[in-house]
Amino acid sequence: MVEVPLKLQWHFFFRNEVLRIKQGNFGTNAHVKVLVVDDMLLHLQTIKLYLELAGYQVICASNTNDAWRLVMEECPDLVILDVIIPGGNGLELMAKIKQQFPNIGVIIMTAYGNEDVAASAIKLGALDYLPKPVRYNTLANLVSRALTKQRQLSEQAAHVSTLKHAYEELQVSADSILGCLSAAVVAVDKNLNINICNRWAKEFFLNADIDVIGCNFYQAFPCFRQLGLLKYTLENNRRVRNYEAEVDTVKGIKILNINTDLIYDHRGQQLGAVAVINDVTELKQKEHLLQEKEKLAIVGQMAACMAHEIKNPLTAIKGFVQILASKALDDSAANYISIINSEIERMSEVIRDFLSLAKPQPPQFVEADINLLIQEMVLIFQSQALMKNINVAIDLAENVPPVAIDIGKFKQVLLNLTQNALEAMDKNGTITIATYFLSDQREIRLDVKDTGCGIPPEKIKDLGMPFVTTKSNGTGLGLCITFSIIEQHRGRVVVQSEVGKGTTFSVYLPIKDGQYE
């Protein structure tokens, strides 16, 4: 048998290998770039040849500097790296590549029997290891496997990054939703350490914008310690619904409505509890006011019935007193009769005023000249003013247009305001009655101004409340009637006053065409 020379054997083997590899892979790997780093040139060339035959683009380096330059310039998909290379350690270079280019896969070449190095290379992030001497015919498979693994890792990393991004976005929108809520939201874990605390909770219960995440709930919010609702919820596995309590907050004592609930994860494991706290102070105050108003309305109705019942016997008494007065009586009896008469008069007045408030008649609007009305009314109370040496001045704007008013009710307004002005002055004052046409606002203004005692600022808000009077013989109903009449006219009253100097009541009436039809 003829011995085939070694060179020829090598040639045949190589040709068969080339054919085998070519059949499988050529063309599909053309876009994949592999960097091979080894200082043994022949070895390097052989790996290059095998991989090129498998269709890969192959670049080579024989030291760490060249290798790193090629990594940066060529950005290969895979690096096959010898552990011992001139200029440094292969594992160190791999760490550097992994850190800066996590998508580049690395296969480490180690000398046969050096499994420890191989194991630590895998630990440090190598996709696989290639024992030396290299079995070249397995190289293409190894590279293909490594590339698949790297692709999977890159895809996983991309998924993780997408999830992370989505989670961050969710966190941001959850935070901004929590921030927008007009309720305080605080969530705690099972040990009562705070996980979530929204802006409202901080503004309402903390003095400064401090970070309380991770802090114990009752240490961060001592005002809730006594209520202990979150603790109760966690210890008893029971939520709390609409618990109302007065709590000393940064903004003062507030009435709070508190709800708590348990929080679970998607597997149904209990994570902690959450408290949602609403400030219901204003709501409660309004409810209270409404209740008071309802009570007052009932009392008012009863009082109106009583007033009506008193009115009839009072008329009879008044009649008989008048008969008695016409009889010849001695002086003292006549005096008593006159006192009885004036007291009956006062009682009738109170009842009349009260009934006009409790059962107001609907206004009958007619177009009227306000200036003319004022001039008529001045004649009525001027004599009273003269007796107190009070001067009455009238300052009427000429261009005041006619307004739709209920004449009887409007006269009552004028009388009430001028009467109060007269009563506010002892002697030697001036009452000024003025009108203005506010053409821009489509309003007219009527001022009743006095130089009397004035009203303290804190009392101004009480003006118009029934039975509020500072006079020994006052009813405290005049302004109440006045304000309700002006309201019926869809107007408004503005009061300006200075104690010791005087007061001005300004009545504004609208003059919109057809407003009262």
Please enumerate, as own/partner, the contacts of 146-154 that have beta carbons within 8 Å and a separation of 24 or more. Answer: 146/78, 146/105, 146/107, 147/32, 147/77, 147/78, 147/105, 149/105, 150/77, 150/78, 150/103, 150/104, 150/105, 153/105, 153/127, 154/103
117 or 392: whose CB is closer to ligand ADP? 392
* Phi, psi torsion values for 257, nearest 5 degrees: -105, 120
Q: Is 451 in the site for ligand ADP (CB under 6 A)?
A: no
What is the C-alpha separation between 84 and 86, in angstroms, rounded? 7
Q: Is 439 in the site for ligand ADP (CB under 6 A)?
A: no
Residues paired with residue 503 on neighbouring β-strands, in sequence order = 450, 497
Q: Is 452 in the site for ligand ADP (CB under 6 A)?
A: yes
Q: Which of 275, 390, 413, 424 binds ligand ADP (CB under 6 A)?
A: 424
Q: Closest distance between Mg ion and the C-beta of residue 417, in Å?
A: 8
Q: Which residues contact 510 (CB under 8 A, 6 or more apart)?
A: 442, 443, 489, 490, 491
Q: Closest distance between ligand ADP and the C-beta of residue 185, in Å?
A: 49
SS3 of 78, please? Answer: strand
Which of these, 200, 231, 203, lies nearest to 217 by C-alpha position? 231
Residues paired with residue 185 on neighbouring β-strands, in sequence order = 276
Instruction: Provide the sign of the torsion angle of the four alpha carbons 84, 85, 86, 92, taken in this order.
Output: negative
Q: Which residues contact 71 (CB under 8 A, 6 or more apart)?
A: 35, 79, 97, 101, 104
Binding mask 381-420 for ligand ADP (x = CB under 6 A): -----------------------------------x---x
Interface region with ligand ADP, contact rule CB under 6 A, candidates 196-204, 236-244, 361-369, 478-486: 478-486
Q: Closest distance between ligand ADP and the C-beta of residue 204, in Å?
A: 40
199 or 492: whose CB is closer to ligand ADP? 492
Binding mask 128-167 for Mg ion (x = CB under 5 A): ----------------------------------------
Interface region with ligand ADP, contact rule CB under 6 A, candidates 22-30, 202-210, 282-290, 468-476: 468-476
Q: Is 351 in the site for ligand ADP (CB under 6 A)?
A: no
149 or 388: whose CB is closer to Mg ion? 388
Q: Which residues contact 355 (CB under 8 A, 6 or more apart)?
A: 304, 307, 308, 311
Binding to Mg ion in span 414-473, by CB under 5 A: 420
476 binds, among Mg ion, ligand ADP, none (CB under 5 to 8 A by kind): ligand ADP
What is the C-alpha separation between 222 and 248, in angstroms, rounded? 10
- CA 241 to mean position of chain CA atoms: 22
35 or 433: whose CB is closer to ligand ADP? 433
Q: Is 87 in the site for ligand ADP (CB under 6 A)?
A: no
- The answer for 272, left when phi > 0, alpha when psi is -120 to 50, beta otherwise, is left
Interface region with ligand ADP, contact rule CB under 6 A, candidates 10-18, 76-84, 388-396, 465-473: 465-473
Q: Closest distance between Mg ion and the C-beta of residue 344, in Å?
A: 20
Q: Which residues bind Mg ion (CB under 5 A)?
A: 420, 478
Question: Residue numbers of the site for ligand ADP (CB under 6 A)?
Answer: 416, 420-421, 424, 450, 452-453, 455, 463, 468-471, 474-480, 503
